[in-house]
Structure formats: C-alpha cells, structure tokens
Structure 1
Amino acid sequence: MPGALQAAPFIALGLLLVTLPHHWRVRNIATLSIIAWLSAYNLMYGVGAVVWDRNDEIRATVWCDIVTKIKIGADAGLPGCCLCMAKQLNRIAYGLDMSPRGWKHRTLDILLCWGLPVIVMALHYIVQGHRFDIIEDIGCIPAIYVSWLSIIILDFTAFVPAILALIYCGLALFKLGRRRRLALRIMLNKPDSALTPSRYIRLMILTFFLGTWSILLISVSASNEYTEGLQLWTDWASVHEDFSRIVRSRTTDFSAPTLRCIYMLWWAVPLSSLPFFAFFGIGEEAMKDYRASASWVGRVVLRRQPAGDPIRADMVSVDASHSPGLGRKPIISLSDRMRPLPPIPYDVRTFNQV
C-alpha cells in the first residue's frame, strides 16, 4: 500500500499533463482550471506520501501551511469549474453560445474557478482551530473546527456548485434530446469553432462525472467529520486557542471505518484524473499532439533531419578557396537574378530541341 500511495499521484499527474496541450490550444478556462487544481492536488499528495511514509514526524511545516490552504481551495475550485463548464455546455445546447465568449462570461468563469476558492481559503481561518494535522502515510491535512460555521464555509460552498452543475447538465441533455440533430449540425457547420460534437459529448460526460463524484466525496467527508457531532462555537479566542499546535496521528489511532474513509478520500484524487486521460489522451487529437511532440524532440533535441526533407542548395555553403578545381564564385547582382532566361527553341512537331 505505501508504494502505491507514492506512485499513484505522480502517475495521475503525468496523465493530466499529457492532455494539457490539447486543452491549452482550445483555451477553455474551466478545463484548464480543473487540470491545474488536480495537478496541484496530485503533486501535494505524492510529496506527502513520500515524506511521511510510515511516520508522522513534524517536518516541512511551511510546506504544510501552503499545502493545507491549497487543498481547501481545490475542494471549492473543482465544483466551481464543473459549474462553469456545465453552464457553457448548457448555453450551447440552447443555441445561446455559438459566438466567442465575451468578457462577461470569462469574468464569471474566472470567479467560479479561482475567485471562489481564494475566498474560501481566506475564510477557512475562521474555522481553523489549530495549525494543521499530520497523518502517517498521508501527510499534512487542513485543521477544521467542526461546527455550523464550517458547514457553511467549507461544505456549502462546494456542495452547491456541484449540485448546480448536475442541474445544468440535465437541462443540456434534455434540450439536446429534443434538438440533437440541429445542435450538432450548428457545431459542425461552424468553421471557426474549436468545439466539435465529439468534444462536446466528452465534456458533457466528464462534467456529469466530476459533478456526481464531487457530491459523493463531499457527502462521505461530511459524514466522517460530523459523526461525533458539532462543536459549540463560543467565541474567537476559545476556537483559536493554542493555534500553533500540530496534531499528529498514526494509522493505528483511527478506527477501521474512519481509516477506510480517509484512504477512500485520498484515492479519489488520483482516480479523478483518469477521466481526463480517457476522454482526451487517447483520441485522434491526442495522437496528433504526440506525433508533433515526437517530431519536435527529434528535430530540436536529437538534431535528426525529417525523412523526405531534402537538403536545399541554399543551406549548403561552398568555399571556393578550399575546394579543388573550383574558381572564384561569380558575383550575381539582384537585377541579373530577376532577369528572365532566354527561351529554348523547340520543334513543336517533334518536341526536340533545335
């Protein structure tokens, strides 16, 4: 199990980065943001599994301070990205988004994908009872003072966007079922659109999957955190008393159901990266990117000349002074180069040169 914990996040990170050129070319804020959040999550999980392998020692405290905040932001950012993508797919299904997206829609995309997570990261300090927790084999995780405020700040801000994303996907599927041929024909006949019917269907399935997955994980996490009930919110001083404390836990300190829940939530992040590779990493577009990357490596890194690319005469420089039998190269002026050559007389009956 420890070896798998260390390898899985880095494998998932590699699969995500494979799909990055395709999504970067399309320049969709939502999909690029999902890749960014999942990549950060996998990198943090991989480092945590390596550093805290079979130990819960207090180390890399600054790293943990940064990582725990990013995890809070990712928990809110991924459902926000799903909502952003579902809204765009729904507008396309209703025929409202056939033109390039304007600054108003892009601003909303940025707010959902990045503005909301930053706000939640800042508000997390309200329900942060101590610095952070360290779990053996897992690494550092955010500290949460489980109360009614944590439900609003952390769970509500992630659960609502995920629910709305599923609603928008349902509306889009309903509309496409009624006008499927017309909608797909509009996308096919739009020459400047980067969204093909195949890509639209893949994005719809991916959004629906991630939205459902987010709701499931939020529900499991909440049930695990609130099993023992809510803590009373008295005042700021009592909640943040001994704030610099770091809680360390071994795997043997948890009950079997709690430990299974912790591992399930951990494995959910690498598994969430697989749909991206399944939908966008093995298709025809991805194969073109792979061939282009291999060609670039062979041409730039390995200095190999592509097959079927003959050496042009203007790429070869001949020094007459070091070449036997060659005199000085005549100087040809620009006017001589532009002067047309005299016609060669041919016998039109035999096509033989006179």
Structure 2
Amino acid sequence: MSDPTWPAYPIMVFLSLLATVIPLTWIGRDNTGMIFLSLWLAVACISEFVNTIVWHGNALNSAPVWCDISTRINIAIGVSVPASALCMCRRLYRIASMKAFILTPRQKRRAIIEDLLLCLGIPALEIILQYVVSDHRYIVFEDIGCLASYFNAWGTYVLMYAWPIILGVIGGIYAVLTIYTIAKKGKQMDEILRSANIKKSHYRRVTILACCEICFATPFAIAVMTLDLTLGPLSHYKNWNYVHAQYSEIIQVPAVLWRSMGPTWIVLDELYRWMFVFLGFVFFALFGFSREARDAYGKVFWTVAKVFGIKRPEPSIHEEKTLEYVFAIIGSKSC
C-alpha cells in the first residue's frame, strides 16, 4: 500500500526544521522555555525526517542503532514539548504579575534550575522509566519508522501517558492566569513590559505560541491515552522478567497491517506526525517576521552580497528619518 503522504511529509517536516531553527539566531536567551521548545521541535523534525526517508516502503530492521536513538527521542518529545510550554507560561505569568522583577540572584538561579529540570530532567526521567514498561526493544512501522513498545498495563499509563497531560494542564492554568492578569491590569502592562525591557509584540507572540502548544498537544495526549485504553484489555504487570521476556524481539509491521487498524488510529498517527510541522510553522510565523528577524535577514543578505563585491549603500539622512518613521508606524500597528 502506497503512502499517501509521500513525498509531502518529508518535505514539510524538513521545512519545519528550518522554520524552527532559523529564529533561534535572534531570539533572546532569557526565555529558557522558548529556547528548549525550539530545540526539541528541531530534534523531533530531524527524527521524523530520517525515519520517513529510511523506512519509506519497508519495515526492515536496517538501522538498529538509530532506532534505539529515535525511540528515545520520541519518548522525550512527548513530555519535553509540554514541559517547555509550561516554562514559557510560568515566565509569562511571573512577568504579568511582576514576580519576575523581585527575584534575588539566588532565586534567579533557582528558577533556571527549575526550568532545566522541567525541560531536560523530566524527559531524561521518562527515557529511564520507559524501560520499566517496555516489552520489546522497539517496533518498526513501514512508512513511519521506529517507535517505542509498551506493555499494556496501568503502570504504563501512570509512568508514560499521564505526564504530558499533567504538564499540559498545569501549563494551561498558568496560561489562563496570565491572560486574566493581562486583562485585569490593562494599560499597566505596557509599563510592566517597558520596565522589563520586553517588547509588547514579543510578549504577545510568546503567549500565542505557548497557548497553541497547550491547545493542541494536551488534547492529543488525552486522545492517544483514551484510544490505547480501548484497543484491548489491560494486562497484569506480574514481574520484571515476565514483562521483559521478549524484549530482544523486534516487531516489524507492514503498512497494510497498521493501516487496517481503523481510521481513528490512522488519524491520530497522522496528527502526531503533522503536529510537529504545524508547531514549526507557527513558531516561524510568530517570530520569523518580527523586526529582529528582518534585521537578521538583512545582515545575512549583505554578508553574502559582500562576497560577490556588492556593498551595502549608506542611507542618507533623509532616508534614515523616513525609515525610522516607517518602522515606528509598523511597530505601533504590530503592538
């Protein structure tokens, strides 16, 4: 059975990779959650791109080392994306409530450590816990690639499926509190953002990005857990040896088989794959057309042009005043 998403998906996921990475060159380094969200989305796009290319039209166990890496990336992505969004929402709320301005140096270090524990610690913990409930080394799906295999027991839903939902719900609470605080303070928010040296348009972009992730990733995690619960009866986790008795076995699933599992499973699978494309383009749409982005594009263009002997013309005083006036108008409208 031919893959209906080929070659559209690998092309789009590669473009999504570029859309996620490019804005990192001018995004400030003070927002830990946004940086990690961009990096994790980029890692997810790389993994999806390689898997789609290597296992297009086959389910062979042709790259076992990569499968070990890819499956752990997928496990980490499941919690790292909502964890990064949680960090973003928490920072936005602290700025809106002015709690980010009264931190001592020790409290700032503690906040950074907390962000690192969320964005790196929880994904690392999930990778370790996955081995507890893993009944096979991995599964190879034709046209999809390598995915982790779980023993269908309650422990799996507690250790693996629950974390993205919990992180998403907490992030959603912070997002609601942030929007409520902004609406309550009104024009006072302009003074708060100015005191923090944060542009209002940038603050809005980060808020929209965090809300998009929560609105899409969290319901998806709930849908996946619900579907898996209905696929078959839950097994009893007897002991470690029972669960890992066939761990060395590699399951290979042809496309005709997994596509016959029903439209619901196929839709969820495709939503998972295309969600990274969607979030990547949302990321670029929010940060790829900002003033900082235009300045970065200009620097790159004239740097390349200089190699070919083309020099950047120096604007006259009249042109400089005109440009300042135009950018002032654009900036006021974007805010």
| TM above 0.5 | yes
Conserved? CA contact 2:21–2:39, under 8 Å: no
Q: How does 1:205-354 map to 2 (within 5 A)?
A: 205-227=208-230, 228-254=232-258, 255-257=261-263, 258-299=265-306, 301-302=307-308, 304-308=310-314
Against the structure 1 CA distance between its residues 283 and 217, is the aligned structure 2 distance closer, same or farther, given a 3 Å change threshold?
A: same
Conserved? CA contact 2:93–2:178, under 8 Å: yes
Tell me whether 1:7 sits opposite 2:11 in the alignment.
yes
The structure with the largest helix share of the pair is 2
For 2:43, the aligned partner's letter is A
Per-residue deviation at 1:99? 6.0
Against the structure 1 CA distance between its residues 240 and 302, is the aligned structure 2 distance closer, same or farther, given a 3 Å change threshold?
A: farther
For 1:128, the aligned partner's letter is S
Tell me whether 1:167 sits opposite 2:170 in the alignment.
no
Ranges in structure 2 where 5+ consecutive residues have no aligned partner: 316-335
Distance 1:16 1:206 in 2: 12
- CA deviations over 1:218-266 (Å, ceiling 9, x no partner): 0121123222232221111010012111111112113232223222222
Per-residue deviation at 1:38? 0.5
1:141 to 141, 147, 150: 147
Conserved? CA contact 1:251–1:259, under 8 Å: no
- SS state at 1:154 partner: helix
Q: How does 1:194-205 map to 2 (within 5 A)?
A: 195-205=198-208
CA RMSD of aligned residues (A): 1.7
What TM-score do the two structures reach when normalised by structure 1? 0.82
Tell me whether 1:92 sits opposite 2:98 in the alignment.
no
Per-residue deviation at 1:54? 1.0
Higher relative contact order (CA 8 A, sep 6+): 2
Ranges in structure 1 where 5+ consecutive residues have no aligned partner: 310-354
Conserved? CA contact 2:47–2:73, under 8 Å: no
Distance 2:255 2:268 in 1: 12
- CA deviations over 1:22-64 (Å, ceiling 9, x no partner): 22x3442111101111101011101111111111111110000
1:125 to 127, 131, 139: 131
2:39 to 36, 41, 50: 36
Distance 1:213 1:167 in 2: 15
For 1:126, the aligned partner's letter is V
Question: How many residues are matched?
Answer: 304
Per-residue deviation at 1:131? 0.6
Conserved? CA contact 1:95–1:183, under 8 Å: no
Against the structure 1 CA distance between its residues 224 and 293, is the aligned structure 2 distance closer, same or farther, given a 3 Å change threshold?
A: same
Conserved? CA contact 1:8–1:46, under 8 Å: no
Conserved? CA contact 1:233–1:239, under 8 Å: yes
Distance 2:190 2:304 in 1: 37
Per-residue deviation at 1:169? 0.8
Conserved? CA contact 1:224–1:261, under 8 Å: no
- SS state at 2:187 partner: helix
